[in-house]
Amino acid sequence: MHKPIYLTALLWLCISLNCFAKDGYKLWLDYQPIQVPQLKSDVGSLLSGIYFFGENPTYEAIRNELNLASQSMLEKAPVYSKDRLQNTKLWIGTREQLSQVLSLTKQAEIKALGEDGFWRGKVELDGNSFYAIIGNRPVGTLYGTYNWLNSIQSNTFDKSTELADAPKINIRMLNHWDNLDRTVERGYAGFSIWDWHRLPGYIDPRYVDYARANASLGINAVSLTNVNANALIMTTDFMKKAKALADVFRPYGIKVFLTARFSAPMQLEGLKTADPLDPEVIAFWKKKADELYTHIPDFGGFLVKANSEGQPGPHEYGRNHAEGANMLADALAPHGGVLIWRAFVYSHEDEVDRHMQANNEFEPLDGKFKDNVIIQIKNGAIDFQPREPFHPLYGAINETNVGMEFQITQEYLGQATNLVYLAPMWEEVLKTKTYKPSPVSTVGSILEGKETGQKMTLIAGVSNIGTDHNWTGHLFAQSNWFAFGKMAWNPEVTSHEIAEEWTKLTFGLDREVVSKVGEILMESHEAAVDYMTPLGLHHIMGRSHHYGPGPWVMGGRADWTAPYYHQADSLGIGFDRTGEGSGALEQYAPEIVKKWSDPNQIPEKYLLWFHHLPWDFQLKDGNTLWEGIAYHYDRGVKEVREMQATWASLESKIDPEEFDHVKQLLEIQEEEAEWWRNACLLYFQTFSKLPFPDDIEQPEGDLEYYKSLQFPNAPGI
Ligand code: BDP
């Protein structure tokens, strides 16, 4: 056969057999061909006559997305018109641009959606009707377009109904813990996607795809650098590199933030101090902020980790967190910048239970922070454990802007090998009642600003993105990036709804796939808690890299060892944080203190977080504590096996490359779950001295062997 003809034939064969394997690069934006005839015809008709009201870089981004989507969903290019009445079907613009076709009521309704809100639906002019996507700003229109494309992919688009939506949180932000040498702290998906060395000259096309993915979820801010910050980012060279990224992200409505190292004035300009009240230090930061805004006029601001885990901060100079934060906030204020100050502070020189240290620092400072400061608080008081009760600072400070910090990267949740959908855990935290400042307050309502009327609201997530072709290492880890964006937009959405949406966008509309993948996702977090840290156990993972079990980890600073947290001894196990113990429980509202102080009333998922209990303490199901611990660990392993079986049953319906990728990782997850179970149960048995229940798979292996395992090259450190 003639070579080009042969190649064409092969290509067609491949297309018809669908043998171009998917590899996850396109995330939830892979725009599968539309199969439903009515939908195909409706969408085809709209995409055959598009009119944009005006020109700007965001509309250009919308056009690019429509080109991609149309080509992929309908195998043809969309058609644009230069005249709004010339064969047009789909109108795209802002409320002001379309005001003449909108009633005053409709205009008011759209305006009320705020600067990022959008509306889509039918509009009429001179007896003709059009489908319109309208934002208050172009970026709202972009969000509306993604929302529309998403409804097409999930087959929920109905051209006769209208839809309006707006985010409930102002700053929806990814925090990259990316270093300037491209390593990523707690990153499990390769290296940093920021190619600092080749920036600003080389713009990797991946930056655009990154911006598209974020904008499709409504993420509108990104902090580029590690919170354990490098002062070099504040040099002109790096500012220019950051500017190049900001330029790529701007049309997608994404603002750039940088992490500021508190000691930068000393490191970069040889000042003798970084004291926030020193005039030269104040001048240094003002100069840096002014320069940043010349490069990046819409620069978001700084994110700061200070006086925590050895990072420099105001304490070195006898100043408090408010004095440190306000000095930086003042430098940003003239430009409209925001200063995000982290509440993740604790010190090993402080004997007080680590759980209590952030409240001890921040409660007395409530009301002392400037208006453009937000205190970013992790979901729990320790550190992104597989499950944590909510951080007691929520509800305790009410005259200061507060924001959430979730961790999307799975530092303590199986890293790159375990399938763990994190949204149920985030949902649990967001929906928990704090009883402060009002009896109906929840963590979510505080974050939305409903309780205190705070003007600036924030939900941040520590990114799980890297250079791996599928972005997140594990294909299912994409669901966590996706779910984070959705929850930051609307903290009231359920993890179940998001799971279904992600599954449809990732694997298509087949009912069996949607329901079974949904089951896997929804079970996965509880499974991980079971085989890692059931019943409120926490911080018992491998030293430093946090990979695998390490309940025996001792040595060095106490608050980084495992026994500090599990306190197992011959009498029992758990951290007594009641009034008789460290007292940390008393930082919560009285309603919580009352219930949780009683080991028979506290939700069992938090039992050992707050109580040290005897091995024969009776659980609600009648088992002793020792038996309960054993059953949970055993159940965790069995749950992973169920996830494996469910996945295996979908083999014929999933792309082979994606199927195999997940299958292999689930096999590793099963081994790791067994490892966690065996190692933890054998270790805790050395204290309980009790046999395992007969009806569990007997933990096998040798404790000394598990203790001897070393992972010097584990990723993420
Ligand atoms: C912990 C990580 C550490 C981070 C720290 C933080 O182990 O690498 O620097 O949090 O949030 O989870 O600052």
Q: Is 165 a catalytic residue?
A: no
CA neighbor of 276 nearest in space, from 322, 321, 324: 324
411 in contact with ligand 1, CB cutoff 6 A: yes
- Distance from the CA of 344 to the center of ligand 1, in angstroms? 9
Question: Which strands make up the sheet holding 50-52, listed edge to edge?
Answer: 50-52, 90-94, 128-135, 118-125, 163-165
In the prediction, which pLDDT does 350 show?
86
Over the chain (717 residues), the average pLDDT of each successive run of 10 is 46 44 92 96 98 98 98 98 95 97 97 98 95 98 98 96 97 98 98 98 98 98 98 98 99 98 98 98 98 98 97 98 98 98 92 96 98 98 98 97 98 98 98 98 98 95 98 98 99 98 97 98 98 98 97 94 98 98 98 98 98 98 98 98 98 97 98 98 98 96 96 93
- Alpha-carbon gap, residue 265 to 397, rounded angstroms: 31
**Class for the domain spanning 192-497:** alpha beta
Q: What is the number of the ligand 1 atom nearest to the C-alpha of 462? A: 11
Token digits of residue 74 = 């309908």
- Substitution site in 179, 342, 344, 547 for ligand 1 pocket (most atoms within 8 Å of beta carbon): 344
CA distances from 598 to 28, 432, 477, 592, 610 (A): 45, 18, 37, 10, 10
Topology (CATH) of 22-165: Chitobiase; domain 2 (3.30.379)
Q: Which long-range contacts (CB under 8 A, 24 or more apart) does 39-46 make?
A: 39/152, 39/155, 39/157, 40/74, 42/157, 42/159, 43/73, 43/74, 43/152, 43/157, 44/74, 44/76, 45/89, 46/89, 46/90, 46/131, 46/159
Token digits of residue 181 = 């040498």
Q: What is the number of the ligand 1 atom nearest to the C-alpha of 185? A: 8
383 in contact with ligand 1, CB cutoff 6 A: yes
Helix ranges, 546-655 (H): 563-566, 590-596, 607-610, 625-648
- Distance from the CA of 302 to the center of ligand 1, in angstroms? 18
In the prediction, which pLDDT does 170 show?
98
Token digits of residue 643 = 């996830």
Q: What is the location of CATH 3.20.20.80 in the chain?
A: 192-497
- Alpha-carbon gap, residue 717 to 709, rounded angstroms: 17
- Alpha-carbon gap, residue 461 to 479, rounded angstroms: 13
345 in contact with ligand 1, CB cutoff 6 A: no
Q: Is 500 a catalytic residue?
A: no
284 in contact with ligand 1, CB cutoff 6 A: no
- Distance from the CA of 513 to the center of ligand 1, in angstroms? 36
Q: What is the location of CATH 3.90.1330.10 in the chain?
A: 530-575+612-708
- Distance from the CA of 541 to the center of ligand 1, in angstroms? 14
CB 275 within 8 A of CB 319: yes
**Residues linked to residue 228 through DSSP beta bridges, in sequence order:** none
Token digits of residue 585 = 């429980």
305 in contact with ligand 1, CB cutoff 6 A: yes
CB 102 within 8 A of CB 110: yes
The residue from 42, 178, 383, 500 that is catalytic is 383
CB 696 within 8 A of CB 631: yes
- Alpha-carbon gap, residue 340 to 375, rounded angstroms: 6
In the prediction, which pLDDT does 10 show?
47
The residue from 178, 353, 405, 411 that is catalytic is 411
pTM: 0.97
CATH superfamily of the domain spanning 530-575+612-708? Alpha-glucuronidase, C-terminal domain (3.90.1330.10)
Q: Which long-range contacts (CB under 8 A, 24 or more apart) does 192-200 make?
A: 192/466, 192/467, 193/465, 193/466, 193/467, 194/224, 194/245, 196/238, 196/241, 199/240, 199/241, 199/244, 199/245, 200/240, 200/241, 200/243, 200/244
The residue from 309, 350, 604, 655 that is catalytic is 309
344 in contact with ligand 1, CB cutoff 6 A: yes
Q: What is the number of the ligand 1 atom nearest to the C-alpha of 226? A: 9
CA neighbor of 174 nearest in space, from 249, 271, 63: 249
CA angle 385, 391, 393 (to 5 degrees): 155
- Substitution site in 383, 464, 546 for ligand 1 pocket (most atoms within 8 Å of beta carbon): 383
Tokens 């759209």 identify what position? Answer: 110
Q: Is 448 a catalytic residue?
A: no
- Distance from the CA of 115 to the center of ligand 1, in angstroms? 34
